[in-house]
Structure 1
Amino acid sequence: MKKFLTLLTALTMVLALAACGSNNEGTGEKKEEEIKELTMGFIPSQEADQIADNVKPLEEYLTEKLGVPVKAEVMIDFVGLVEGMRTGQIDIGFTNPFGYVQAVERAEVQPVVKAIRRGSDTYKAQFIARADSGLKSIDDLVAKEGLTWAFGDTLSTSGYLFPASLLTQKGVADINTFFKQTAVGGHDNAVLAVLEGQADFATTFDDARTVLEKDHPNVMEEVVVIGHTEDIPNDGVSVRKGLSEEWVNKIKEAFLAINDNPEVLAVMNEVYTWDGIAESTDEEYDVVRAVYEQFKEQLGQ
């Protein structure tokens, strides 16, 4: 009987040790997610099919760098991108500044890199008017109630939010009643609305007029810049919640290495006009958060 009890005790200890060695539950450690594929989410800056074709070299580059298949998915809109990152269907997302702030709030994403354009990691929003309108400055806009204001949409960082914030700082108590607002669906359309006299002024990224130069060679003379907002951090790339620190760093380093790969950098330029790539931090977008909070109730967010 004593031999049996001794044997039973020894067997129990062996099984216990085996259990501890075969899983992490006993140590309180969380098993790391196995990554077999990564999906990038893009918001259309051009036709969806065109983006899908243009980013093929980026897919191939990241697949080689990261050692797992990387595929691109063009989302219908930003809401879909955020939801995809929240649910884990999208691992890597290309987000504008305002979109990034929303993605952090709703999906707890983490920034990795940001765009460099013309040597800068920031940009400004611009106010434009026809050269023959008599409007020479932002002060002229706030001095004349009832002007028609064209912009891409109310969720645009440079097209609406930062200009709206500046107008309120200039003394406009209610921008919704002071101006006649018209959302035209894009920065190029906002420039065109001013050019064709459908709006008194417009707000766009700097300098959206160049987009129309091919079809409207005189746009730079007929439409003039009458003011700018403060600096806005550039758009960038973020990753979903739950990726390990190792994978976050691998993705970050892979994107930063594009600076040394002219072919892939040309792809970034063609899709989102990126000239270079730099590391980004969450704190850089605090200025965007402040503006977002200012208009959060109005936007129904």
Structure 2
Amino acid sequence: MGGGRCFAWVSLALLATACGDDRGAGASGDWQAQMRQIRMAVRGSEDDPQLARRWDAYKRRLEAATGLPVKLYESSDYNGAIQALSSGQVDMANIAGGGYANVDAQIGDKVAPILTVRDAEGAVGYYSAVLVKADSPYRTMRDLKGKALGYVDFNSTSGYLFPRAKLREQGFDPDTYFGKSTFAGGHTQAVMALENGQFDATIINVGGGTPEHGFTTGAHYTMARRGVVNVDDFRIIWTAGPIPNSAIVTRTDRPQAFIDTVRGAMAALPYDDPEMWTQIGQADGSTYTAVDRSHYADIIALRDGDLAQRRGRRP
């Protein structure tokens, strides 16, 4: 069954390459000669070796499928990948929903999501969570009134955009409810800042489960597996989700044959090499599924709403 679906993906990609429109291609239709290389923006993370393995696997996969060298543009923050994609410095990216919403606001349909990860049960999302120290007195959001909260990054979906919207829906104004709020710069940094007492609570991403049954993935779980922290030193007191998973997005002004080849090659990866798929941190049984802008419509609306809310507060 898996091999058949793999063949179908690859066949569709090849068919689209041969028969589809050659948007952006030269007169000869030789899109490889036109592009010469593939430039992909990814979020760098020196403190998560698994991410480095993932980007290397994607690089090798795309090089084999396209016959072109792939250059990875690693950004230390969210905005770097967003601006590289918006300005056309890269051809594609792996980016979270909030980042895609930012790009969409800047350049609209010049960029489109094509794939996202779906787990074995068919879910295509993860969660935002408020994390506190296990030995703290904080048990609910009401205990955090006037306390210090750590966000991940202004462009983080689970670490800023999504939880702020959900807090407002529940009657907690994130701009006035907490005593102060600060950006940590990343999920790992947010956990370390909490560990070191810089925040009373912080917001991070979690997955591999549900609020009812618990989670198995997320920043503090990754750090615990590496021996950096003890997962039992923390407690989750609030969750929101699910949030649409990150997407592989491409510039739509690139040759259609390139977009179709990327879609087919990446969609077939979990079937062609399931061992590598799990080695790069993807859950057993998960696969890629096709998406478009409509999949992130709620995130786009949340971003617009958050911007409007904050602008309305300005003097």
Q: Normalising TM by the smaller chain, what interval?
A: 0.7 to 0.9
Paired residue secondary structure (2:166): helix
Instruction: Decide which structure has the larger Cα Rg and report it.
Output: 1
User: Which of the pair has the greater relative contact order for Cα pairs under 8 Å at 6+ separation?
Assistant: 2
The residue number in structure 2 matching 1:265 is: 277
Residue 233 (1) aligns with residue 236 (2): no
Matches of 1:245 and 1:196, distance apart in 2:
49
Matches of 2:164 and 2:193, distance apart in 1:
18
Q: How many residues align?
A: 267
CA contact (8 A) 1:150 1:183 kept: yes
**CA 1:58/1:211 → structure 2, altered by over 3 Å: closer, same or farther?**
closer
The residue number in structure 1 matching 2:5 is: none
**CA 1:274/1:163 → structure 2, altered by over 3 Å: closer, same or farther?**
farther
The residue number in structure 2 matching 1:191 is: 191
Paired residue secondary structure (2:162): helix
The residue number in structure 2 matching 1:20 is: none
Matches of 1:193 and 1:131, distance apart in 2:
15
Residue 103 (1) aligns with residue 103 (2): yes
Alpha-carbon offset, residue 38 of structure 1: 1.9
CA contact (8 A) 1:269 1:275 kept: no
1:4-153 alignment, distance < 5 Å: 32-33=25-26, 34-36=31-33, 37-46=37-46, 55-75=55-75, 77-107=77-107, 108-116=110-118, 120-141=123-144, 144=145, 146-153=146-153
Residue 243 (1) aligns with residue 262 (2): no
Q: Gapped runs of 5+ residues in structure 2?
A: 1-21, 207-217
The residue number in structure 1 matching 2:12 is: none
TM-score by length of 2: 0.72
CA contact (8 A) 1:265 1:274 kept: no
Alpha-carbon offset, residue 121 of structure 1: 1.6
**CA 1:104/1:174 → structure 2, altered by over 3 Å: closer, same or farther?**
closer
Alpha-carbon offset, residue 299 of structure 1: 8.2
> Once the two structures are superposed, what CA deviation does each residue of 1:228-272 show, in whole Å capped at 9, x if it has no partner?
0121000111001212433322211111011122365256438x9
**CA 1:152/1:67 → structure 2, altered by over 3 Å: closer, same or farther?**
same
The residue number in structure 1 matching 2:212 is: none
RMSD, aligned CA = 3.3
Alpha-carbon offset, residue 39 of structure 1: 1.7
Q: Gapped runs of 5+ residues in structure 1?
A: 1-28
Matches of 2:264 and 2:23, distance apart in 1:
25
> Once the two structures are superposed, what CA deviation does each residue of 1:20-60 show, in whole Å capped at 9, x if it has no partner?
xxxxxxxxx98734333322221213379997786444333
